[in-house]
Structure 1
Amino acid sequence: MAEILITEDKASFGEMLKSNLEDAGISVYLVRRGREAIQFFRKEKVEIALLDLKLPDIDGIDLLRELKKFETDTTFIIMTAYGTIERAVEAMKLGADEFLTKPFDIDDLIAKLTKILDERRLFYENILLKDEA
């Protein structure tokens, strides 16, 4: 299971994110194209998906739409250097949980992702405890 899937076409930015998140103890898988993200979702469970809005093969909003079809409980975060209010609203209506404008502070991102992962673990631990009771 990948805790976080990053879909980012800019190699240096994607590698920087991956490196920083792994240094923080987070399991990360990095892809460069939207179609790779779709293939990955077919095989793996993803807790958080960080999706770039501008990808070479598919628009990030369209990618979000495709990934939501898998009916997972994945948390979706859209990130872009080209953010507009309209695009943010559109992403949120389609089920994005967050919309980040690049550049963003990596420490803030790590804190946000760690909080999401911790909340997810607590949620599932509570479900397991209820099932055992």
Structure 2
Amino acid sequence: MRIDWPREFDDQLDRLEADATPRGQRRLELLTFMLKRLADLDAVPVQDTAMIKRVRQSKQHVVWRVSHPYVEGIALRLICWFPPGADRVVVTLFSGDKASMGDVFYDSVGIRADRLIDRWVDEAKEA
């Protein structure tokens, strides 16, 4: 599966790559792990798994939450969308650390993901 993302994710990724602290490096490793798991998918998910679950809060687009194995004090999440008829996944949101945010991350995830998906679609048309 090919992975794509909007410009906002590039900014978050740049900040994470620049964080040379042990915690920052561990977060980058976990993010890389989750992106690799997405790249290794053969098809769009059709049911929840331990790592990928459908986000029920999304209204406009079907989006999925990707997580990593438990690491104390770190809980990164990727929210992604699989464009219909394409062999790609679009990372729409990245929770820098849900461990510190708690469930507030999910309170607005659908609205924010829908907005970024629409923006990604517009960016893809411009390319």
Using structure 1 for the length normalisation, give the TM-score. Answer: 0.30
Greater Rg, structure 1 or structure 2? Answer: 1
Q: Which has the higher contact order (CA 8 A, sep 6+)?
A: 2
Report which of the two has the higher share of helix: 1
